[in-house]
Homo-oligomer: A and B are copies of this chain.
Amino acid sequence: MEVINSIKLMQEISESIRNSGKKIAVVPTMGYLHMGHLSLINKAKEIADIVITTLFVNPTQFGPNEDYDKYPRDFNRDFELTKNNGSNYLFYPDTKEMYPINFSTCVEISRITEKFEGAFRPGHFKGVATVVAKLFNITKPHYAIFGQKDYQQTLVIKRLVEDLNFNIEIIIAPTIRDYDGLALSSRNTYLSTSEREKAGILFKAIETVKSEIAKGQRERLILNSYLHKTLRQIPEIKIDYASCVIANTLEEPEFFLPGDEVVILIACYLGKTRLIDNSIIKIPYSLNESNFKEDYI
């Protein structure tokens, strides 16, 4: 595996891979890789000839009071993990390479970014859309793989690709979970032992709502109250949002209808650590319908 720090060199390599008729898949990451990231690399290997993993902790998607400085970093570990998992290139630019002194462009997506993460992290999706547009132009992929864990981000990326006509297929890979259902995240390393023991509550809240849907509950506010009630079992939790909404638009109807794809979205602090999770469920046409679609698999 080759580590590339230069944008120009990465572009030359990608261009020459494309010219040779091979397909490129990119896996954008902020490093400190876990099994979730590795599952994205594996997915990339399945569908493309060449896998480019990018590793860049993008400052512009962090708010001024967020955890940019303390975000976990371990290049050597990430290098070994990407290499051993079959990534062909690791694109690892520094901040000056990505944002030189006169940098003054942003890509902004409206509507879908206004709620939930966008509301609690102003500017976050502008930072994401801008850096992803750059990474697409730098790595020139045919496919780009993102994790479902950042659900609203996947909507933003899809809109970015459609609206700016990036000729790239976006693939969303399922969330990888720990023994108790906690979604894997680099930020989980912030949790103390006792917090970690309580963090399974997000998954439990999701499961509770799914079971209420299975029992026939369709009223959004009642479903949301199950989320909140479950999360509040842990007093150290401060909820940013916990909400069931239409999956592809984030709309909030009074009742969900048969066939609706609903995403259950949670963001909350457990102590000082901000955790997010989500799950998609399709409202069944009848209560006897046992195997309704869940998540992207």
Contact = CB atoms under 8 A, between A and B. Distances in A.
A107 interface: yes
A168 to B, nearest CB: 9
Residues of A contacting B: mostly: mixed
Interface residues of A, number: 33
Contact of A18 (B19, B133, B160): B19
B109 A129 contact: no
A104 interface: yes
Q: Assembly of this chain: how many copies?
A: 2
Nearest to A108: B106
Contacts of A21: 19
A137 B160 CA distance: 12
Nearest to A135: B165
Interface string A16-33: 001101000000000000
Contacts of A11: 165, 167
A146 to B, nearest CB: 17
Contacts of A140: 167
Contact of A7 (B15, B134, B165): B165
A134 B164 contact: yes
A160 B130 CA distance: 11
A130 B159 CA distance: 14
A70 interface: no
A76 interface: no
Contacts of A165: 7, 11, 134, 137-138
Nearest to A249: B102
Interface in A104-161: 104-112, 129-130, 133-134, 137-138, 140, 159-160
Contacts of A159: 102, 104-105
B18 A164 contact: no
A179 interface: no
**By CB atoms of chain B within 10 A, which of A18, A105, A160, A162 has the most?**
A105
Q: Which 4 A-B pairs have the closest CB atoms?
A: A105-B163, A137-B165, A104-B110, A104-B111
